[in-house]
């Protein structure tokens, strides 16, 4: 079996080309992935902010929402 040798510059070019092709051909997959990443970041920030606040009762939340429990 023969070995295939690719220098770093050629490998970098091939990877860039493959990524560009993926983005162009599978826009919906890339979009969904980015949307999920952004949602995860937002959720993480919300959790971090919540850890530093006082708890709120269920009744207070429903009062703010204008509903009865």
pLDDT, one tens digit per residue, over 20-67 is 998 899 989 889 999 999 999 999 999 998 888 888 899 998 999 987
- The verdict on pTM exceeding 0.85 is no
17 contacts 9 by C-beta, under 8 angstroms: no
Residue 19 lies in a domain: no
Q: Which domain holds residue 48?
A: 27-69
69 band by pLDDT with thresholds 50, 70 and 90: low
The residues, any chain, with a CB within 8 Å of residue 22's CB and separated by 6 or more, are: 29, 30
Question: Which pair of structure tokens corresponds to residue 41?
Answer: 């970041």
Which contiguous run of DSSP H or E holds residue 40?
Answer: helix 27-51
How many structural domains comprise the chain? 1
Is residue 51 a part of any domain in this protein? yes
Determine the Cα–Cα distance for residues 26 and 28; give it in Å rounded to an integer.
Answer: 6
Q: Do the domain assignments include residue 22?
A: no
Q: Is 14 part of any domain? A: no
Evaluate whether residue 11 is within a structural domain.
no
On whether the CB atoms of residues 41 and 49 are closer than 8 A, the answer is: no
């Amino acid at each position: 079996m023969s070995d295939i040798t690719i220098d770093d510059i050629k490998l970098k070019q091939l990877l860039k080309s493959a990524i560009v092709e993926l983005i162009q051909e599978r826009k919906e997959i890339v979009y969904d992935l980015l949307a999920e990443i952004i949602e995860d970041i937002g959720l993480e920030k919300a959790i971090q902010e919540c850890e530093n606040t006082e708890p709120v009762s269920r009744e207070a939340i429903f009062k703010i929402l204008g509903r009865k429990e």
